[in-house]
Copies of this chain bind each other. A is one copy, B any other.
Amino acid sequence: MEFFNLIAVEEAKDRLMDTFHGFHLEKEEVHILESTNRVLAEDIVSDIDVPEFNRSTVDGYAIRSQDSYGASESVPSLLKIIGKVEIGKVPAKKIGAGEAMYVPTGGMIPEGADGVVMIEYTEKLDEEELMVYKSISDHENVTYKGDDIKEGEVALRRGRILTPEAVGVLAALGISKVKVYEKPKFYIISTGDEVVAIDEKLELGKIRDINTYTLYSLITRLGGQVVGKAIVKDDYDLLRDEVEKALDMTHIVLISGGSSVGNRDYTAKVINSFDGKGVFVHGIAIKPGKPTIIGEGKGKVIFGLPGHPVSSIVVFKTLVEAFVRRKMGAKEYLPSTRALLDFNCPSAPGRKTYQLVNLREVDGIVYATPSFGKSGMITLLSNADGYIVLEPHEEGAYKGEEREVYLL
């Protein structure tokens, strides 16, 4: 007996993307010092060459490379020192045949020179005479104007997560403010007569609200913001009032709990009571996470997540994160590693199964051990290193198989 029609994870994602194809996040401008981990909402086109001039990559002497041809330890070239390039300044002279100028790392290459011989391969006889003990090739130790980034080039693309490296590119271009996507706004509702707030006294038979905190933390990591949260009893009117309030403030409403049949009905009924498409996914072929609901109300996304902390985390990572990343044009990036299974691992037939594993390395080989335990155990998740995904058509994964492990 099944209480709802399960659909495949990919089908659920497709319906979610289709329903909200018109949904978009606003852009906002931030200083690059505050931009780390935000997602770029515009293409960055360079209006300069980087570097803006030909630079030396070493401390040495700028010369015409042909003047060093044939030079060696035993037969050095003798060149004339005509001056020194000051760092940060335009060289005062040009290099002619047989001439050399000292240039520090990052210094500008004087006109006429086409290479820099490292100071280690030279010897100054006096203020004017330089012995060069090595032949250099054309362009050696020089970064040319535009070598790094060319004027007119797209230096960073929309959807790019602003890592330290990307922030470095912005700085190189002299860009101090960038457009990023606003932080998506979430409202978290935890439902259930048995759910008690973290600082309330726990009576026997009740349980602490866990989902509000794990979801809050997942949202923080995803780069979203929580604009409100509430614990609501199993009551249609109370839940509807709370969701109505949430819809006016947020992009995405997460209702967790209601894993018993009656509660699931409330959640679906509440979602269907608002203007909009209502519930369009009711049950997903995923383990854990089956009793998941997705709906639309007043143009906002409403997720009915399972009450079990582990299940709600899996569904958040699988669907909520995918949705937000897609809306930011960012790649879905899941850090992973490959590992050998050291234990057989059953799957739920017909459902995409997320199996938690622990990793250990022995003699350079990484092994993954499935962590089995009862549904809803938070330590199962907090002690796991990652998970493997078993597709619905697979019967399981076997000891000795190599699998991709997605890291938690």
Contacts and interface: CB of A to CB of B under 8 A. Distances in A.
Interface of A: 1, 32-33, 35-37, 50-53, 55, 57, 59, 86-90, 104-108, 119-120, 143, 147-149, 155-156, 162-176, 192-195, 198-199, 202-210, 212-218, 220-221, 234, 259-262, 307, 309, 313, 335-338, 374-382, 384, 407-408
A35 B217 CA distance: 8
12 contacts: A32-B198, A86-B193, A88-B193, A88-B203, A147-B374, A148-B377, A163-B408, A168-B210, A168-B213, A171-B208, A171-B213, A337-B338
Contacts of A215: 164
B381 A171 contact: no
Contacts of A213: 32-33, 167-168, 170-171
Contacts of A86: 193
A88 B168 contact: no
Given A1-B120, A168-B381, A169-B379, A374 B143 contact: yes
Contact of A209 (B169, B171, B307): B171
A170 to B, nearest CB: 7
Given A87-B194, A209-B171, A216-B33, A260 B104 contact: yes
A121 B217 CA distance: 38
A57 B375 contact: yes
A374 B146 CA distance: 12
Given A87-B193, A147-B377, A335 B338 contact: no
Contacts of A192: 87-88, 106
A164 B208 contact: no
Contact of A198 (B107, B176, B203, B337): B176
A148 B378 contact: yes
- The 10 tightest CB contacts between A and B, nearest first, are A88-B194, A164-B217, A171-B213, A168-B214, A165-B382, A104-B260, A335-B335, A167-B217, A36-B217, A36-B220
A35 B382 CA distance: 15
A221 B155 CA distance: 22
A168 B375 contact: no
Nearest to A216: B33
A163 to B, nearest CB: 7
Contact of A379 (B155, B194, B218, B234): B155
Contacts of A105: 259-260, 307
A143 B308 CA distance: 13
Given A120-B1, A207-B106, A376-B143, A309 B168 contact: yes
Nearest to A262: B104
A401 to B, nearest CB: 14
Q: Which of A37, A51, A169 has the most CB of B within 10 A?
A: A169
B89 A205 contact: yes
Given A194-B87, A336-B337, A156 B382 contact: yes
B198 A378 contact: no
A199 B23 CA distance: 35
A212 B167 CA distance: 10
Given A88-B192, A88-B203, A105-B260, 13 more contacts: A53-B204, A86-B193, A90-B204, A119-B261, A147-B377, A148-B376, A149-B379, A165-B408, A168-B381, A171-B198, A172-B208, A176-B198, A335-B337
